[in-house]
Amino acid sequence: MTQQEKAERFQALHQRPRAFVIPNPWDAGSARVLAFAGFEALATTSSGFAYARGKQDYGITRDELLAHIRELSAVTDLPISADLENGFGADPETCAETIRLAADAGAVGGSIEDASGDPAHPIYRIEHAAERVRAAAEAARALGFPFMLTARTEIYLHGRPDLDEAIRRLQAFEQAGADVLFAPGVTNRDEIDAMVRAINRPVNVLAGIPLGLTVNDLANIGVKRISIGGALCRVAVGALHRAARELHDHGTFDFLEDAIPSRQLNPMLL
């Protein structure tokens, strides 16, 4: 399947009446397992990929991420959207360059967030954040295929759970040209509903235990896309950690009861 075809398929998913789930693989094997499970698109996870590389979240370089996108694009025909963190630079042109490089690596969508990485000033001013999104959107429009740009506000993840501010930022990003809007950390049903009503583009919601809502619940609210970030990677690492503790502390092998048989796993990796 060509990149153009993947891009058109990914765009169409956002135009359907109901929500779709876009899970987040962290390596080639997990991407193939998720594709085998029947999902229609995949998104990278910056945290999951970092953990798989033995690094902390936000510990990967842009070059590492681009290689990761190329690897995932090579093992599945599913559309790939990339978690591009804050674009790997504060200035708008770097965000634009990151979009172009991600597309060259095989992505047909990608996200730019308003977190600066500076502990003293963790969130960019709304005007600067919008300029960064505008530059990314212009780069996306110049690609020749419908690259779905997601703009994220990280204020909830940085101790600023202000719904009004989140909506203002997402509206500014919408006006700057973003195709999808995303405020990770918003988990309250009423807040999600207010966010969806205030925005005229598809909204992505990050699922998680505090959310307490199902895919159907979110679809009924009007959410178009549901991702899970690094959760699947953390589930896998959690199972590894529990097995390691059992083996080391107790010398038992009960954890093997949960292992997927090779005869079941092998067909998923064809």
Domains in the chain, start-ordered, CATH in brackets?
3-232 (3.20.20.60)
Q: Report whether 138 contacts 179 (CB < 8 A).
A: no
> Containing H/E element for 104?
helix 92-105
The share of the chain scoring above pLDDT 70, in percent, equals 100
Residue 67 predicted with pLDDT over 80: yes
Across the range 246-260, mean pLDDT stands at 98
Mean pLDDT, the chain, whole residue set = 97
Residue 132 has pLDDT above 80, yes or no: yes
* Per-residue model confidence as pLDDT tens digits over 159-201: 999 999 999 999 999 999 999 999 999 999 999 999 999 999 9
Tokens 């634009």 map to which residue? Answer: 96
pLDDT of residue 270: 86
pTM summary value: 0.96
Q: What is the mean pLDDT of residues 11-37?
A: 97
DSSP state of 184: T
pLDDT over threshold 90, residue 259: yes
Residue 125 has pLDDT above 90, yes or no: yes
> Is a pLDDT exceeding 80 seen at residue 47?
yes
User: What is the band of 205 on the pLDDT scale with cuts at 50, 70, 90?
Assistant: very high
What pLDDT shows up at residue 37?
98
Burial status of residue 218 (CB atoms within 10 A of its CB: 0-12, 13-18, 19 or more) = buried
167, containing H or E segment: helix 163-176
Q: Rounded to whole angstroms, how far apart are CA atoms 180 and 152? A: 9
- Res. 212 pLDDT band, cuts 50 70 90: confident
The whole-number average pLDDT for the span 105-112 is 98
pLDDT at 210 over 90: no
Would you state the pLDDT for residue 211? 79
Give the residue from 238, 239, 227 showing the smallest Cα distance to 46: 227
The DSSP result for 202-227, as a single string, is: -EEEE--GGG---HHHHHHHT--EEE
Q: State pLDDT tens for residues 228-242.
A: 999 999 999 999 999
| pLDDT, position 251 | 98
What DSSP string describes 65-86?
A: HHHHHHHHHHH--S-EEEE-TT
Q: Please measure the distance between the N-terminal and C-terminal CA atoms of the chain and give it in whole angstroms.
A: 17
pLDDT of residue 61: 98
Q: What is the mean pLDDT of residues 260-266?
A: 97
Average pLDDT of the residues in 54-82: 97
Task: Give the percent of the chain with pLDDT over 90.
Answer: 98
pLDDT for res 137 = 98
